[in-house]
């Protein structure tokens, strides 16, 4: 995996960046380590932390479930002076379009449409619930300074209240990047209610 590219593209001139390579066995360790660091560096309202912790785990787990590759990379940066948290999770697997195409419903989906639809509720290749990126996109609309999903030749970006999909340089696999304002006052109840409803359906 081209970690040098990820650092240059998403963490330019940032110091004290944490880089963790994980597989299905170490995924939970990385998750716990990042959350421990997060809670020690920032004062975050409990419900926001709950929603963020769920979304972060789901993004890590997506690598294991959907990428077709054994390893993923998580990169984090905590800017306490500016109350900004940056989280990136990347893999060099099959990518979103090919993954969704494993579901007969999306067999002939175009790459830009796949990236557009992956943040919708219940859109899945059949191996998961199709809820992780949807919940993450909702959270990012509340606390996100920037949200990026880059897969193949296309990139979805959310910034300043606007979402766009552009043709971009090739990334073989999937990158999910979140830049979060930890001091922003939000109401995350809609995300938490959605989570509670989803789990009630599954019980």
pLDDT at 30 > cutoff 50: yes
| 1: in domain | no
Find the Cα–Cα–Cα–Cα dihedral 49, 51, 53, 59, rounded to 10°. Answer: -150
Reported as a pLDDT band with limits 50, 70 and 90, residue 169 is confident
Of 70, 77, 37, nearest to 53 by C-alpha is 37
pLDDT at 195 > cutoff 80: no
Residue 175: domain span: 18-202
| 11: in domain | no
| 138: in domain | yes
| 116: in domain | yes
| 158: in domain | yes
| 6: in domain | no
Higher pLDDT, 146 or 183: 146
CATH number of the structural domain spanning residue 181 = 3.30.565.10
| 35: in domain | yes
Q: List, as one string, the DSSP characters of the chain.
A: --HHHHHHHHSTT--S-EEEEE-TTTHHHHHHHHHHHHHHH----HHHHHHHHHHHHHHHHHHHHHSS-S-EEEEEEEETTTTEEEEEEEE-SSHHHHHHTTSGGGTT--HHHHHHHTTSTT--SSSS-S-HHHHHHHHHHHHEEEEEEEEEEEEEEEETTEEEEEEEEEEEEEEEEEEEETT----THHHHHHHHHHHHHH-
Reported as a pLDDT band with limits 50, 70 and 90, residue 125 is low
Reported as a pLDDT band with limits 50, 70 and 90, residue 200 is very low
pLDDT at 186 > cutoff 60: no
Which of the residue ranges 102-106, 129-133, 168-172 would you say has the lowest mean pLDDT? 129-133
Give the rounded percent of residues in the chain with a pLDDT score beyond 90: 32
pLDDT of residue 19: 92
| 150: in domain | yes
pLDDT of residue 202: 38
pLDDT at 21 > cutoff 80: yes
Higher pLDDT, 46 or 92: 92
How many independent structural domains does the chain possess? 1
pLDDT at 201 > cutoff 50: no
Please indicate, yes or no, whether the overall pTM of this predicted structure exceeds 0.75: yes
- Summarize the confidence of residues 81-95 as an average pLDDT: 89
**Between the ranges 42-56, 98-112, 130-144, 178-192, where is the mean pLDDT highest?**
98-112
Mean of the per-residue pLDDT values for the chain? 82
pLDDT of residue 122: 67
């Amino acid at each position: 995996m081209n970690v040098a590219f990820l650092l240059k593209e998403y963490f330019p001139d940032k110091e004290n960046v944490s880089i963790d390579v994980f597989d299905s066995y170490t995924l939970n360790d990385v998750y716990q380590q990042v959350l421990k660091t997060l809670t020690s560096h920032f004062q975050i309202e409990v419900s926001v932390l709950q929603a963020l912790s769920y979304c972060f785990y789901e993004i890590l787990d997506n690598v294991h479930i959907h990428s077709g590759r054994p390893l993923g990379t998580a990169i984090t940066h905590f800017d306490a002076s500016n109350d900004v948290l940056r989280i990136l999770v990347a893999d060099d697997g099959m990518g979103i379009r090919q993954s969704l195409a494993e579901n007969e419903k999306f067999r002939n989906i175009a790459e830009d449409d796949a990236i557009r639809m992956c943040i919708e509720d219940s859109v899945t290749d059949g191996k998961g619930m199709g809820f992780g990126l949807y919940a993450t996109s909702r959270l990012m609309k509340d606390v996100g300074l920037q949200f990026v999903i880059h897969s193949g030749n296309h990139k979805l970006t959310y910034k300043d209240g606007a979402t766009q999909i552009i043709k971009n340089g090739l990334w073989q696999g999937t990158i999910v990047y979140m830049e979060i304002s930890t001091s922003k006052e939000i109401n995350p109840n809609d995300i938490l209610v959605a989570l509670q409803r989803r789990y009630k359906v599954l019980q």
